[in-house]
Chain A
Amino acid sequence: MDFEVIFLTLKLALITTFILLCIGIPLAYWLNYSSRKWKVWVETIVSLPIVLPPTVLGFYLLFCFSPENWFGKFLDNWFGIRLVFSFTGLVIGSIIYSFPFMIQSIRTGFSQIPKSYMNEALVLGKSKWVIIRKILLPSMKNSILTGCVLTFSHTIGEFGVILMIGGNIPGETRVISIALFDEVEKLNYHTAHQYSAALLVVSFIVLFIVYSKRNNPFRKK
């Protein structure tokens, strides 16, 4: 078993989870509390990766990132960035692919907090930023944890998007799911078993954490 594959997979999952957490909290807050009419457009776009086959998403990303097209050309010409078949491209693809898992979990957390919390904290003279930081987020830490572990595990297991935009470049885009596929194609079942077992164990641990923590976020420990 190639440990570089494991390291690269974990690195991709961690970076994706961290970036999605940073984007997810403000976006989920906005989706939960905003009453803008065009919110439904954002909700639909955010949820698309749930229903869209990963290969479709991967194909569009490949099309978009390709230096043959205007966006890819723009990135290449102006910033010297090539996203296809690169680790950075994988991170962006993973972020888009796992978007709904993080957003929906955090949004559920916000929606479970009674509106009276916000009013009570506002009349105590606190700014919305302080309320989010000191009241809302700590009250929904289980939802945040759920979002993080789902995103992490989803990224570890992702295949279609990565194959489309990343290919199979060792040390750059060869993550565990791709390596597993590759080993099976080579009829190298022993290594395939090792990769599968690694994925199975990680997935089990992640789901175990989610289910053991998924209780009422307002219940005192």
Chain B
Amino acid sequence: MMKIQIYKEFFKSSNQFFIDVDFSMKKGSFNALYGGSGSGKTSILNVISGIKYADKGKISISDIVWLDTENKINLPVNKRKIGVVFQNSVLFPHLSVYENILFSKDKNDSFDLMNELIELFSISDLLNYSTDILSGGQKQKVAIVRALIRNPDLLLLDEPFSAIDTEQRKQIQDSLLKAHQKLKFTALVISHDLEEVVRLSDNIFMIENGKIVKEGSAFSLFENKDEQEFIRLSGIILSIERIEAVQKMKVLIGNEIHTIEKEKSNHQIGDRVEIEAKKSRI
């Protein structure tokens, strides 16, 4: 079990913000911290990883204390057995893909695991490449493999797929889930993408203004919410049919075409539109 209590105050453009969270994660579970921009998700990740310090707090995993501000314990970042995949992970440019992965490997880490992960994330063809020529998705795959070969107690993922196209994103998510099944590490993914959160995690913490407002499985959190909650979708107009004051638009959202009725507007075919709809209607 991993227990996390964090209190931290900070300033952003002279406004005071704070995070005040207290939650725990079961060993081997895949968790998500879900919330909008500025809700404090990344600050929490930075404190858990040890990159930032908390004003008050306690973080422990099994019997190992990583942070205890009362007793002035703060295990350095490099002593915490973690893997972190940032939104824009840095691959060191003077090293090849393979050297980047190897840099993370300690003497005791297994070569078999490394090779298995390389196969699982389908990056064996990239190993001799310079990191400059990799796409965003390929870079994130390498970053995940590099984080996992240490067989971390906790894997932290900070919006790791936000800059990757849908198809690659799903492929990487599948590989990540397979790696999780095999290695049984505890994971915490930070995201504002509901689809990603539901797909990856078995436990979700919803965060608003630095506080966790709800916790549970995707089903328990959203089962009664659909009727009240609206979500925003983005799509491309394929055709427009105007009938008196109303216009019927065929809009491509994801891989599906939806028919949407709206009041007349100046939209043209090919325009990108934002649509707000009740979840239950999608």
Majority SS at the chain A contact face: helix
Residue of B nearest to A120 (CB): B90
For residue A135, CB closer than 8 A to chain B, the reply is yes
Nearest CB on A from B257, distance (A): 41
For residue A80, CB closer than 8 A to chain B, the reply is no
For residue A124, CB closer than 8 A to chain B, the reply is yes
Nearest CB on A from B97, distance (A): 13
Structural contact, A125 and B93, CB atoms closer than 8 A: no
Query: In the complex, A165 Cα to B92 Cα: how many Å?
Result: 46
Stretch in contact with the other chain, from A49-57, A81-89, A111-119, A198-206: A111-119
Given the known inter-chain contacts A123-B84, A124-B146, please indicate yes or no for A139 contacting B78, CB distance below 8 A.
Answer: no
Query: Which residues of chain A are near B82, meaning CB under 8 Å?
Result: 123
Structural contact, A120 and B130, CB atoms closer than 8 A: no
Encode B78-111 as 1/0 by CB contact (under 8 A) with A.
1101111010011011100000000110100000
Structural contact, A119 and B103, CB atoms closer than 8 A: no
Given the known inter-chain contacts A139-B94, A220-B130, A220-B132, please indicate yes or no for A123 contacting B83, CB distance below 8 A.
Answer: yes
Give the contacting residue for A220; candidates B93, B103, B104, B146; CB below 8 A: B93
Residue of B nearest to A140 (CB): B94
Chain A, interface residues (CB within 8 Å), range: 10 to 19
Query: Which residues of chain A are near B132, meaning CB under 8 Å?
Result: 220
Structural contact, A218 and B93, CB atoms closer than 8 A: yes
For residue A214, CB closer than 8 A to chain B, the reply is no
Query: In the complex, A118 Cα to B93 Cα: how many Å?
Result: 13
For residue A11, CB closer than 8 A to chain B, the reply is no
Structural contact, B94 and A125, CB atoms closer than 8 A: no
For residue A134, CB closer than 8 A to chain B, the reply is yes
For residue A188, CB closer than 8 A to chain B, the reply is no
Structural contact, A135 and B150, CB atoms closer than 8 A: no
Give the contacting residue for A139; candidates B50, B79, B84, B92; CB below 8 A: B92
Structural contact, B90 and A114, CB atoms closer than 8 A: yes
Encode A123-163 as 1/0 by CB contact (under 8 A) with B.
11111000000110011000000000000000000000000
Structural contact, A124 and B92, CB atoms closer than 8 A: no
Query: Which residues of chain A are near B65, meaning CB under 8 Å?
Result: none
Nearest CB on B from A35, distance (A): 14
Nearest CB on B from A138, distance (A): 5
Query: Which residues of chain A are near B50, meaning CB under 8 Å?
Result: 122
Chain B, interface residues (CB within 8 Å), range: 20 to 34
Give the contacting residue for B93; candidates A119, A127, A139; CB below 8 A: A139
Interface centre among A122, A126, A218 (most CB of B within 10 A): A122
Query: In the complex, A121 Cα to B78 Cα: how many Å?
Result: 8
Query: Which residues of chain A are near B78, meaning CB under 8 Å?
Result: 122-127
Residue of B nearest to A218 (CB): B93
Query: In the complex, A125 Cα to B103 Cα: how many Å?
Result: 10
Residue of B nearest to A119 (CB): B51
Query: Which residues of chain A are near B86, meaning CB under 8 Å?
Result: 116, 120
Give the contacting residue for B103; candidates A116, A124, A127, A139; CB below 8 A: A124
Give the contacting residue for A125; candidates B90, B92, B130, B150; CB below 8 A: B150
For residue B164, CB closer than 8 A to chain A, the reply is no
Query: In the complex, A122 Cα to B104 Cα: how many Å?
Result: 10
Query: Which residues of chain B are near A117, meaning CB under 8 Å?
Result: 90, 92
Nearest CB on A from B145, distance (A): 12
Query: Which residues of chain A are near B146, meaning CB under 8 Å?
Result: 124
Query: Which residues of chain B are near A127, meaning CB under 8 Å?
Result: 78
Structural contact, B93 and A124, CB atoms closer than 8 A: no
Query: Which residues of chain B are near A138, meaning CB under 8 Å?
Result: 94
Structural contact, A124 and B94, CB atoms closer than 8 A: no
Query: Which residues of chain A are near B93, meaning CB under 8 Å?
Result: 139, 218, 220
- Could you pull out 12 A-B pairs where Cβ atoms are within 8 angstroms? A116-B90, A117-B90, A120-B86, A122-B76, A122-B77, A123-B82, A126-B78, A135-B103, A138-B94, A139-B92, A139-B94, A220-B94
Interface residues of B (CB under 8 A from A): 49-51, 76-79, 81-84, 86, 89-90, 92-94, 103-104, 106, 130, 132, 146-147, 150
Other than the given A123-B51, A127-B78, A220-B93, 9 more pairs (CB < 8 A) read: A121-B103, A122-B76, A123-B78, A123-B147, A124-B104, A125-B79, A125-B106, A139-B93, A220-B130
4 closest cross-chain pairs (CB), A and B: A123-B84, A122-B77, A120-B90, A124-B104
